[in-house]
């Protein structure tokens, strides 16, 4: 027997279409639960509930301080469930328990950060000369649709939801079919925090079914999507037909540049988390490392030692790195590793599945990677590091910028002038100097190029969820 879970639609827990969606433990490959499968009718119901909530003024007429407190209460309720959420999250994603806790704590932090800012959303007054008063007001779009990926389901749901609610939008969240269970605790937290019915619906369904119904829905006012370029393109196409704005947080193939004066211990730590956190299934993973020729061999040796030192296993095996999310994702990553070797990259370590049930891939390092190789251009979304070597600084920047993506980039040097020069020339929305993932909920995050547009995190994210209305008054005197 497996547990069956329901969707949260308009303040009510509801079942979906037969058959339900099966949820697998990626560390064993076994199904351990099912969840209601939302179809177009469930999406209609959630959007209608959100529209009714918006029109009722339940969120918009509220004093901002109260709306902020409401958003913070969701975070408090989620924090009160931290152990439970982390356990379910680690089961459905396979991520180590410590990583699951970090994710839930990160989710809680979003509700705190954005809740605190509800009172700061102000317009401006614009001088028009005698006889006029003019000012702007910031208004929510109304119904915000949010489509979430499987790699950080709790944190990504919290990221969009907290900012959208703070701005006064009613939200419909479509959770990922591979990891839908942990986000249900956010629905529980919303319910416990006493939000008006329809302010938040959280539903799971397949992308081609519930996701497509939501992104093409005529009564949605705005879409925030986090996921692959391919799906983002389908969603933008649907949004073009209903003429609504989108925010696209897509993939990446992000590079770090290590200069001869890099602190190699700091670099090791950044490689550890940059490419092996969440088994490399991170949009902003350090999937490329561009190293000066003078330190190349030493950096490759250190990366090999690091990769080989990681214990790979299930969450209850106290592992450093878990499995990949699915058989399909592991097949794809292994295939890219084979292709890298065929194209001439040197396999330093890893590259193969583990002899263990579940979707494990060894922590992998490639050296002698050239910019035109498939492994240099394609997002693996797995624990695979590609190392390049460079001679002069311009070449390093050229290699770093030579992909379609531009999510994040990193620079490792003790020379701040060199770091700043690189930061200016790197094509990426976020630059890390001497620490991969430096930053937090407070720092704006989003892509250049095919990594997408719009910013999540930081104050910038609030602008995704607000539109400006100008009010011009002619006084007559
Ligand atoms: P995906 O694009 O396959 O799926 C993401 C979501 O879109 C899922 O909820 C899915 O059900 C839904 N979906 C699929 N087809 C759809 C359709 N036709 N219409 C509407 N919705 C649809 O991505 P994924 O495999 O879940 O996630 C991995 C990708 O996400 C990677 O490329 C990664 O880089 C990216 N990602 C980006 C960020 C970021 O902030 N930039 C964060 C996490 C993941």
Give residue-wise pLDDT tens across range 59-80: 999 999 999 999 999 999 999 9
Identify the pLDDT of residue 2: 78
**Ligand 1 pocket, residue 251 CB under 6 Å:** yes
Residue 151 CA, ligand 1 centroid: distance in Å: 9
Q: Is the pLDDT of residue 5 over 70?
A: yes
User: Burial level of 19, CB count in 10 A (0-12/13-18/19+)?
Assistant: exposed
The pLDDT assigned to 476 comes to 79
- Considering the entire predicted model, what is its pTM? 0.96
3-state secondary structure the chain: CCEEECEEECCEEECCEEEEEEEEECCCCEEEEEEEECCHHHHHHHHHHHHHHHHHCCCCCCCHHHHHHHHHHHHHHHHHCHHHHHHHHHHHHCCCHHHHHHHHHHHHHHHHHHHCCHHHCCCCECCCCCCEEEEEEEEECCEEEEECCCCCHHHHHHHHHHHHHHCCCEEEEEECCCCCCCCHHHHHHHHHCCCCCCCEEEEECCHHHHHHHHHCCCCCCEEEEECCHHHHHHHHHHHHHHCCCEEEECCCCEEEEECCCCCHHHHHHHHHHHHHHHHHCCCCCEEEEEEECCCHHHHHHHHHHHHHHCCECCHHHCCCECCCCCHHHHHHHHHHHHHHHHCCCEEEECCCECCCCCCCECCEEEECCCCCCHHHHCCCCCCEEEEEEECCHHHHHHHHCCCCCCCEEEEECCCHHHHHHHHHHCCCCEEEECCCCCCCCCCCECCCHHHEECCECCHHHHHHHEEEEEEEEECCC
Identify the residue whose C-alpha is closest to ligand 1 atom 14.
Answer: 207
- Which of the listed residues 153, 174, 225, 228 should we mutate to test ligand 1's pocket, taking the one with most ligand atoms within 8 A of CB? 228
Q: What distance in Å separates the CA atoms of residue 450 and residue 455, rounded to the nearest whole number?
A: 14
Kindly report, residue by residue over 411-422, the tens digit of the pLDDT: 999 999 999 999
Confidence check: pLDDT of 261 > 90: yes
CB atoms within 10 A of CB 254: 31
103 lines ligand 1 (CB under 6 A): no
- Cα R_g (the chain), whole angstroms: 23
d(CA 395, CA 391): 7
User: Which CA distances in Å does 40 have to 59, 122, 129, 284, 385?
Assistant: 26, 37, 52, 32, 40
Q: What is the pLDDT of residues 423-448, one digit of tens each?
A: 999 999 999 999 999 999 999 999 99
- Which residues are marked as active site? 249, 283
Token pair in block for residue 475: 């006084």
Please, what is the Cα angle at 10 between 6 and 16, to 5 degrees?
Answer: 35
Indicate whether residue 93 lines ligand 1 (CB < 6 A).
no
Q: In this predicted model, what pLDDT tens digit does every residue of 198-237 receive, in sequence order?
A: 999 999 999 999 999 999 999 999 999 999 999 999 999 9
Percent of the chain having pLDDT more than 70? Answer: 100
Instruction: State mean pLDDT over 257-271.
Output: 98
Domains annotated on the chain, with CATH: 3-244 (3.40.605.10), 254-441 (3.40.309.10)
Determine the distance separating the centroid of ligand 1 and the alpha carbon of 230, expressed in angstroms: 8
Please list, residue by residue across 1-15, b when 16 or more beta carbons sit within 10 angstroms of its beta carbon and e when fewer do: eeeebbbbbbbeebe
For residue 215, the ligand 1 atom closest to its alpha carbon is 20
Is the CB–ligand 1 distance for residue 160 below 6 Å? no
If you average pLDDT over residues 376-388, what whole number do you get?
A: 98
pLDDT at 460: 97
Q: Report CA 157 to chain centroid distance, whole Å.
A: 9
Q: Band of the pLDDT at 406, cuts 50, 70, 90?
A: very high
Residue 429 CB less than 6 A away from ligand 1: no
Q: Indicate whether 1 pLDDT > 70.
A: no
* Ligand 1: residue whose CA is nearest its atom 23: 227
Count CA atoms within 13 Å of residue 345 on its CB side: 29
297 and 328 Cβ atoms separated by less than 8 Å = no
Joined tokens for residue 400: 């770093």
User: Rounded distance, CA 207 to CA 225, Å?
Assistant: 12
pLDDT over 80 (residue 477): no
**Residue whose CA is closest, atom 21 of ligand 1?**
211
Q: Looking at ligand 1, which residue's alpha carbon is closest to its atom 30? A: 227
- Residue 252 CA: nearest ligand 1 atom is 34
**Closest to 463 in 3D by CA, of 79, 110, 28, 120:** 120
Separation of alpha carbons 310 and 216, rounded Å: 44
**Quick check: CB of 249 below 6 Å from ligand 1?**
yes
Cα 98–149–233 angle (5° rounding)? 150
The single residue listed with the structure tokens 């959303």 is 121
Average pLDDT value for residue range 342-362: 97
Q: Is 176 in the pocket of ligand 1 (CB under 6 A)?
A: yes
> In 10 A of CB 52, how many CB atoms?
16
């Amino acid at each position: 027997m497996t547990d069956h879970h329901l969707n949260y639609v308009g303040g009510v827990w509801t079942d979906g279409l037969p058959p339900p969606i099966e949820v697998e433990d990626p560390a064993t490959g076994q199904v351990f639960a099912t969840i209601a499968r939302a179809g177009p009718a469930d999406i209609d119901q959630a959007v209608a509930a959100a529209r009714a909530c918006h029109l009722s003024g339940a969120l918009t007429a509220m004093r901002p301080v109260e709306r902020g407190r409401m958003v913070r209460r969701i975070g408090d309720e989620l924090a009160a469930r931290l152990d439970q959420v982390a356990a379910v999250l680690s089961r459905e994603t396979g991520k180590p328990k410590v990583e699951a806790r970090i994710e839930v704590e990160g989710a809680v932090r979003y509700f705190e950060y954005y809740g605190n800012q509800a009172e700061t959303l102000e317009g401006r007054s614009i001088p028009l000369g005698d006889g006029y008063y003019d000012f702007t007001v910031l208004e929510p779009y109304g119904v915000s649709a949010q489509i979430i990926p499987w790699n950080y389901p709790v944190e990504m749901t919290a990221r969009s939801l907290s900012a959208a609610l703070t701005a006064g939008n009613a939200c419909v969240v479509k959770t990922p079919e591979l990891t839908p269970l942990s986000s249900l605790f956010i629905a529980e937290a919303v319910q416990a925090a006493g939000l008006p019915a329809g302010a938040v619906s959280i539903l799971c369904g397949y992308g081609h079914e519930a996701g497509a119904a939501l992104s093409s829905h005529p009564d949605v006012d705005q879409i925030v999507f986090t996921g692959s370029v391919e799906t983002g393109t389908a969603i933008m196409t649907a949004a073009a037909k209903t003429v609504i704005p989108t925010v696209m947080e897509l993939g990446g193939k992000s590079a770090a540049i290590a200069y001869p004066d890099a602190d190699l211990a700091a670099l090791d730590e950044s490689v550890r988390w940059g490419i092996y956190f969440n088994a490399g299934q991170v949009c902003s993973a350090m999937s490329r490392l561009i190293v000066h020729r003078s330190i190349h061999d030493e950096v490759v040796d250190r990366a090999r030692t690091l990769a080989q030192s990681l214990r790979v296993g299930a969450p209850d095996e106290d592992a450093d790195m878990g499995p990949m999310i699915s058989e399909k994702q592991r097949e794809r990553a292994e295939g890219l590793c084979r292709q890298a070797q065929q194209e001439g990259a040197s396999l330093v370590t890893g590259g193969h599945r583990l002899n263990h049930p579940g979707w494990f891939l060894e922590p992998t390092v490639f050296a002698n990677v050239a910019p035109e190789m498939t492994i240099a251009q394609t997002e693996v979304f797995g624990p695979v590091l590609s190392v390049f070597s460079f001679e002069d600084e311009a070449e390093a920047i050229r290699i770093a910028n030579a992909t379609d993506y531009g999510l994040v980039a990193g620079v490792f040097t003790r020379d701040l002038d060199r770091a700043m020069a690189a930061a200016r020339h790197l094509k990426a929305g976020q630059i890390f100097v001497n620490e991969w993932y430096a930053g937090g909920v407070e720092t704006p995050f989003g892509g250049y190029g095919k990594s997408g547009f719009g910013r999540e995190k930081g104050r910038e994210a609030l602008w995704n969820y607000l539109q400006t209305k100008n009010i011009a008054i002619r006084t007559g005197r």
